[in-house]
A and B are shown apart, each in its own frame.
Chain A
């Protein structure tokens, strides 16, 4: 037991260090945790032996896995179901293009450019196809586009992209069997019943210090996760779908979402992201850096090819279309989840995992740096007055003032 507490203290010490770094550098905590995990494994492993971090301990794997599941659920719960229902056709088209272009493009690059196996190439395609909805949401708020049809469509499209990613991850490597049918049948019933049952159950028994809501949600997430694993699928798939179907009820309960975030960021996700970082082999990465660079370039290029024309077709000014496209190239959470799924299921080896995680980390950094360097705030100068053809993309109340206080 002493050993477990020591390891837990060590990991939470690393989590605290990563959080301080993320505050200082103004970067996502997940990004900081992955990097800290990689460096810690390198330093502690070399100085004191790799066993000290013990990333394969079962209790640690549980916390890390639970972190990925709850984080994925929260990501799904951020969906705006009203907008999604209204714009599902456009959002579906944009989202699928945003998924398919990097999925097929990066898989082809991994297969024919890097000589990876077929399964490893498909996994690379999945890991590089993701989009960070939250980052795009922040961009939409900045431009005041979150209230326009364009902004709402792009945001809903990001959910479709990530949904396609988790569906591909959940089914591409799972053999289709009777278990798959059971999983699909039970899943369909659960996804149908939950939006009806959950608000009624919470109204009747919730709102108490015993945190019934959190227990109920985690029961659903772990139960469906177990079923997905039993069917050789991936637990984050039902978690994302449960998040999406409960977005209109649980997702609107800001207090509950805040409490779940506390649990997730305070305890669970540090274990997930530090573990994901600790499994990166720096020597393998240094020995063959080309794979990482090629995958990153392929992701950005395919996102641009897939998304930029669509944003332009919606009448977005060139600068904002470019900025949105670049930010749709970011994607840390689902990229890391996909890569770790590949490593833990033997689809990719540690060298390929290291290249993929490094490319995913790069995709969280490089597009943003390029966007800030070339589009901020210079886009205000030449682009302050839109041309006639560009005006449709701008909101009626142009600007990004979130709330005017009289």
Chain B
């Protein structure tokens, strides 16, 4: 039985596909849908700029989540939206552990070679470490 679904959302086209899949899943199972956006600091950061980037990302994601909440009120019975700071895969896994998530849904999009080398694909990392089932939605 799926009671709580977690969606990793960054506003991209691929995460939008993942949203539609997760909303459908939540309706069918009458499950709660938790949406987590993650503001990501630079992988190799420095003074002032890192804080500026975190602030900028937070503002961006808060606006994005505000828009998403209007969609959620139409599409899903029970929904929660949250904003975290850090590496997306790590924060998704952490959130899933803390909130007893049964199923994680993430989109899949291309990464630069450097990003993959540095921390790996978000989807791959979530699959590797998630405490529950994971669906990666491809376009």
Contacts and interface: CB of A to CB of B under 8 A. Distances in A.
Interface string B15-57: 0000000000000000000000001011111111111101100
B87 A401 contact: no
A376 B119 CA distance: 8
Interface stretch (A134-142, A207-215, A220-228, A280-288): A134-142
A141 B94 contact: no
B86 A400 contact: yes
B49 A134 contact: yes
Contacts, number: 148
Given A399-B95, A401-B84, A403-B82, A71 B48 contact: yes
Q: Tell me if A's interface is mostly helix, strand, loop or mixed.
A: helix
Interface stretch (B1-9, B100-108, B110-118): B110-118
A31 B50 CA distance: 12
Contact of B46 (A142, A332, A376, A403): A332
Contacts of A78: 48, 51
A402 B45 contact: no
B97 A384 contact: yes
Given A134-B50, A254-B55, A377-B129, A142 B85 contact: yes
A137 B51 contact: yes
Q: Tell me if B's interface is mostly helix, strand, loop or mixed.
A: helix
A83 to B, nearest CB: 15
A134 B43 contact: no
A334 B82 CA distance: 35
A261 B48 CA distance: 8
A343 B29 CA distance: 67
Given A402-B85, A403-B82, A133 B54 contact: no
Contacts of A400: 84-86, 91, 94
Contact of A134 (B51, B69, B93): B51
A338 interface: no
B93 A380 contact: yes
B76 interface: no
A22 B47 CA distance: 15
Contact of A401 (B89, B95, B97): B95
Contacts of A406: 80
Contacts of A75: 47-48
A30 to B, nearest CB: 5
B81 interface: yes
A226 B50 CA distance: 29
Contact of B129 (A27, A28, A264, A381): A381
Contacts of B58: 402-403
A401 B83 contact: yes
Contact of B118 (A22, A332, A372, A404): A372
A30 B59 CA distance: 23
Interface of A: 22, 24-31, 71, 74-75, 78, 132-135, 137-138, 141-142, 254, 258, 261, 264-265, 330, 332-334, 364-365, 368-369, 372, 376-378, 380-381, 384, 398-406
* 6 A-B pairs closest in CB distance: A142-B86, A28-B46, A134-B50, A138-B41, A27-B44, A377-B90
Interface of B: 39, 41-52, 54-55, 58, 62, 65-66, 69, 80-87, 89-91, 93-95, 97-98, 112, 114-115, 118-119, 125, 129
